[in-house]
Structure formats: C-alpha cells, structure tokens
Chain A
C-alpha cells in the first residue's frame, strides 16, 4: 500500500495540490494543509502523482509500504 506524505516544513500552502485533487488535499481557513485521504489507489494515483510533480515546493511524496 502506498501513502501520500507531506513535508510540512516545506509546504507553503500554495494550494496547487488542492486544485488538482481536492478529495485528497485540503487547505483550511488558516491555510493549513490537510490530507483527507492518504491511501494511493488506482483511481487517484494519476492525479496524486501530478500533484507531487507540480508542487512548487516539492513538499509531497508517495511512500511505498
């Protein structure tokens, strides 16, 4: 099972990930990022990989378990 990980030391709440797949990434009213669903599934994998690539801070990773 692969999981989404965010390095919160790098994240600056640009919200690019949320724009790509809001079911997985969400920014709250204080601009903190929450992972709503950390499991990488065949359905969401393509978009999550897109979010990983497009994050301007390189703060998102997929960890294989």
Chain B
C-alpha cells in the first residue's frame, strides 16, 4: 500500500484550519516538496529552512515574498522585505537602532498603559481576546512610533486585515485586497507629505531626513513612495503579528492549564513562555524566496528560478531539531535548536525586541485579569490569510 501523495496548498481551507498536520507529512514524506500544479518548492525541515534563511545569496527576496508576487516576475515596489543586499542593508540601517532591546525600553510605559486601558474596558464574562485586546493594542504602539495620529491608528489594523485576507483557493490579490492596499497607501502618502512640511519626532520624519547610498554611490533621500511603503510595512508587521501570538497564547494555555499555572506561580518564566509560543504557534507560517541559481540544501537540490517556501512554522515543530517538538512546554531547553519564529538571517524580524516586550507585558496582565478562564472553543474563529495564521475571535469567560 502506498501513502497518498502529500499535497500542500497555501490557500486551502484544510491548511488554514490546521497547518501542523500538513507540516508533519511534508517533513516526513516530502522534505523537498515540489508542487507541479503551481510550480513551487517548499522546505519544512529545520536544517533546510535554517540553511535557506542564511543563504540569502541563493534565496533572493528581490522578487517579493509571496507566491503571487514571485511568480509574476515583475520587480516589486521598493520595500525592505523585497530587497537583497546591499539595498536591504541600507534601508534596514535607517531604523534598526530604534528597535534594539535597549531602545525599545522607551516604549514600555506606552505598552503598559495601552494594555491596562483595553483590559479595563473588557467584560470578564464576555471577553474576546483578539477583538477586545490583542487586536487593538499593538497597532497603537507601532503606528504611534511611526507617527500616525491617534484617530487613524485603529483604521490601520482594518486595512492590514483586509489586505492579507485570502479566500480558499485564492493565491493572487483580489479587488478587496487591492482596495485596502490603495486606501492605506493613499493615507500614508498624505501623511508623508504632511511630515515633510512639519517634521515631528517620529519614524516617518526620520525616514524623510535620512540619506542612503544611491546607485552611483552618491547619497540620496528616500522618495515619498519609498517612505509610504516602509511605513505601511511597519504598521503591518508590527501589529497583526503580536495580535495573533497573544490570541493563540490564550488558546494554548487553555489547552495546557498546567503551563498557565507555572506562570501564575512564577512570573519570571514569562519570557520563556513567549519564546515557546513563538516556536509552537508563531503567527508567521512561511516566507517565499526565489532561487537565483541551482542550490543545494540538506534534503536535496532546488533548481534555479523557482519560488521556494521557507516554512519556519513547520521547522519549529521538527522533531529532528526539537525534543518532543509537538509538545507545548514553556520550560524546554531553548538552546536545542534555533527558534525560527522571528525568522533568521538578514531578514529576521526588525521588531523582534518590541514583539517580545509587548507579548510579555500582555501575558503578565492577562495573568492578573484572568488567572482562571474558559475558552469557548466552539466560538474560535481562525483567520484565512497570506502567510500568517492565528485567530480572529477567541471568546473567553473569566472564572471567579
């Protein structure tokens, strides 16, 4: 008897509902997965994914980072995630000092205030962790840092959600995705114009003032479209990810109450819990690259000129890399293998320290707000999105 062939579709309902079952089959039976229908490769074992993240010369980002973009073959808009060195380095160096663990400490008070604000408004008997809490607070933090006025900050989150949504079977952008992208780009473009007139102490103003090396070695300034793109990306990457991590955290701790109890008993384990959440239910499922040449990875050879899915979320549960990889254990030995939840190598998450801090403060406050709680599992609603997974509704009742 032969096993049925593994089929991975990044936009199937099956994948949206439970990616981890498909990952296990891909790791075991098709570590060098090739999809004949859509003509792409996918890597799921830890050693393959980590090697590919490191090898940015073979696995290019310059064609885009999702299947739809990479296979059009068009040059994408100039955005840091769609760049290889040296352009990538130039752009990244404009903002990386603002996101170091030390620099991010300046945001701690804001994060704490926002978390307390949203929890104070929450109804303990009828609390939707995502809609009432983990959706609204991270977007406020990052858009405030970027320079978005308060009254528009929540709107940013709705644009992101609309832009990333995928219907089952839909690989390319539809009209709704496009409209959200246009609306948010128009908004940010206007904001950049305003900041040119009237600079503030924010990231948009810093990007306006910055110089980067141009094509002929002369220094140049970013244009309005580049700044719009960078700011849009910051708002997206810095908001919906923590939203999903915190939503998934509440679900996993409800499934593993012994782990929640460990945190109740000892808050100093919160940072370890955040790392384990990033490994076990990290929101980013994969990043797509483009093989610029034939390239060897431990599981075999990938031909030149193919879209390649680097599936970090699958690698993070690879039993070849982690002991009891499918077990949620906040006390696991973290040195066993590299956690790929925030990526790895030159494109690893710029906001990693901010994401960790927001998640840790959120958990600390949730431990106070709901030391005992029930999740209404029938009410859980997953998102269907391009490359990120998590919940859009996590209904909770706080027990007293």
B335 near A50 with CB under 8 A, answer yes
B102 near A10 with CB under 8 A, answer no
A58 near B345 with CB under 8 A, answer yes
| From A10, A14, A50, contact of B101 by CB (8 A) | A14
Known A54-B335, A54-B338, A56-B352; contact A10-B100, beta-carbon cutoff 8 A: no
In the bound complex, how far is the Cα of B89 from the Cα of A56, in angstroms? 15
Closest to B335 in A: A50
Closest to A53 in B: B338
Chain A to chain B contacts (Cβ below 8 Å), 20 pairs:
A9-B89, A12-B96, A12-B350, A14-B100, A14-B101, A14-B352, A14-B353, A15-B100, A15-B101, A31-B103, A50-B335, A54-B335, A54-B338, A56-B342, A56-B344, A56-B352, A57-B345, A58-B54, A58-B344, A58-B345
In the bound complex, how far is the Cα of B338 from the Cα of A54, in angstroms? 6
B101 near A56 with CB under 8 A, answer no
A27 within 8 A of B: yes
In the bound complex, how far is the Cα of B99 from the Cα of A50, in angstroms? 23
A9 surroundings in chain B (CB, below 8 A): 89
Minimal beta-carbon separation of A14 from chain B (angstroms): 6
A14 surroundings in chain B (CB, below 8 A): 100-101, 352-353
In the bound complex, how far is the Cα of B345 from the Cα of A10, in angstroms? 9
B366 within 8 A of A: no
B101 surroundings in chain A (CB, below 8 A): 13-15
Chain B residues touching A, range:
20 to 34
A57 surroundings in chain B (CB, below 8 A): 345-346, 348
Minimal beta-carbon separation of B322 from chain A (angstroms): 14
In the bound complex, how far is the Cα of B344 from the Cα of A56, in angstroms? 5
Minimal beta-carbon separation of B238 from chain A (angstroms): 16
Minimal beta-carbon separation of B230 from chain A (angstroms): 17
A27 surroundings in chain B (CB, below 8 A): 102
B97 within 8 A of A: yes
B103 near A58 with CB under 8 A, answer no
B102 surroundings in chain A (CB, below 8 A): 13, 15, 27, 31
B342 surroundings in chain A (CB, below 8 A): 56
Within 8 A of A (CB), among B332-363: 335, 338, 342-346, 348-350, 352-353
Minimal beta-carbon separation of A62 from chain B (angstroms): 15
Known A15-B101, A27-B102, A31-B100; contact A10-B338, beta-carbon cutoff 8 A: no
B338 near A12 with CB under 8 A, answer no
Closest to A15 in B: B101
Within 8 A of B (CB), among A35-56: 50, 53-54, 56
Closest to B97 in A: A31
B344 near A13 with CB under 8 A, answer no
A13 surroundings in chain B (CB, below 8 A): 97, 100-102
A10 near B103 with CB under 8 A, answer no
Task: Convert A17-33 into 0s and 1s, putting 1 for each residue whose CB lies closer than 8 angstroms to a CB of B.
Answer: 00000000001000100
